[in-house]
Amino acid sequence: MFNIDVSSLKQYLLEDESRIIEILEDLGFHHIKTHKDYISCGRPLGDHTSSTIIKFNEHISTKGYTQQSLTGDFLSLVMEVTSTNFVGAMKYIHKNLGLKYEWKGHSNSKDKVTTPASVFNKFKGRKKFDYDEIEIYGEETLDMFVPNLHESWLKEGILSFTAREFGIGYDFKRRRIIIPHRLWSGEKESYIGIIGRTVIQDYELLDIPKYFPIIKYPKGMNLYGLQENYKYIQQAGYVTAHESEKSVLKRHSRLDKTGVAIMCTDITPEQKSILIGLNVDIVISIDKGIDINHIRSLCDMFYGIRNVYYIYDKYDLIPKKEAPADCDNKVYNYLFKYKIKYDEKERREYLKWLENREKN
């Protein structure tokens, strides 16, 4: 059989529960029992015989009662037990089921990329998620840069382990911090873009752009940080959509690995579909100064599909033009705790504003 995407793969697993059981056995789960709507089993090396539940729903949701890291979906469970990434888990499942898996992205090519992202294409009102024009670069692309964390970002709270995880480096020639962008559903070293952040003082007066694409790509077709944080997002049950890459890095350094970056103040149809496909709650975290109704418009994209919240600084705790992630952990956690749910009342407020705007 041939390579199938994650949505079709889950459907294939659900067609015959013995396929799920086969993978669980290979992973080391024990006392596997089938019930009407779920499978119960004991986790590898665990004593409890029903500590883990795998549900027969669309996403094959999982719940780990004695090991929280096994909570998420079936893919994140495989990622956790095998200590691998998204593509590694896909390969593992395909191999166990006797399926052929080919990931066609490779260094400096414009060959069509076969990716599991088609799960996110089923939602109406959007154009097809098309990777055909995205060029994939290998690890050697970063050889021209020094794999060091610039002191300015270290002072801002981005730590070395985060820099290593995300491949942050420095370009002496351009005097820019290097931010590699990985394709979220690709191999670990599948780079699709590189952004450079200047470290030159008074760059605005010198007419130097703060951020500059060293390797440009359509950022609206990706979510920065999702490849690195996918498993932790599934385990937490929510994803935090930040505006910038730096917010994702700052929160990661504070051991909050639920972040992705939309890389602007809008969410594209492709990013919307990826976020919906994660099957978790969505939290919008945009920089201070953005109008509340613009934030509500982002939330409205997910209304009735996923639980959606937004962080809004009604207490004036965030400095002007900064992001929630720029705050210290105490302030951020306070703002996150009192995030606003975009419910029916919130939507009425947004629609009322929208109606008034159209009248004027």
Q: What number does CATH give the domain 221-359?
A: 3.40.1360.10
Query: Which neighbouring-strand residues pair with 340?
Result: 310
Supply the pLDDT for residue 320.
86
Interior CA angle at 276 toward 270 and 277, to 5°? Answer: 90
Supply the pLDDT for residue 136.
85
Q: What does the pLDDT look like over 306-344, one tens digit per residue? A: 999 999 998 899 998 899 999 999 999 999 999 999 999
Supply the pLDDT for residue 213.
93
Query: Which neighbouring-strand residues pair with 136?
Result: 109
Instruction: Count CB atoms within 10 A of the CB of residue 133.
Output: 11
Supply the pLDDT for residue 129.
42
The strand ranges marked E within 183-299 are 191-198, 211-215, 238-242, 259-261, 281-285
For 4, residues 6+ apart whose C-beta sits below 8 A from its C-beta are: 12, 94, 99
Q: Given CA atoms 12, 14, 15, 19 in this order, what sign does their dihedral have?
A: positive
Type and span of the H or E element at 169: strand 169-171
Supply the pLDDT for residue 119.
37
Residues 192 and 135: beta-carbon distance below 8 Å: yes
Q: What is the pLDDT along the chain (360 residues), one digit of tens a residue?
A: 444 567 788 889 999 999 999 999 999 999 999 999 999 999 999 999 999 999 999 889 999 999 999 999 999 999 999 998 888 898 899 999 888 876 544 334 333 333 334 434 443 333 444 555 678 888 888 888 999 899 999 999 999 999 999 999 999 999 999 999 998 877 767 899 999 999 999 998 999 999 999 999 999 999 999 999 999 999 999 999 999 999 999 999 999 999 999 999 999 999 999 999 999 999 999 999 899 999 999 999 999 999 999 999 988 999 988 999 999 999 999 999 999 999 999 999 999 999 988 887
Instruction: Count CB atoms within 10 A of the CB of residue 68.
Output: 11
**Domain limits, the chain:** 6-97, 116-120+131-218, 221-359
pTM assigned to the model: 0.84
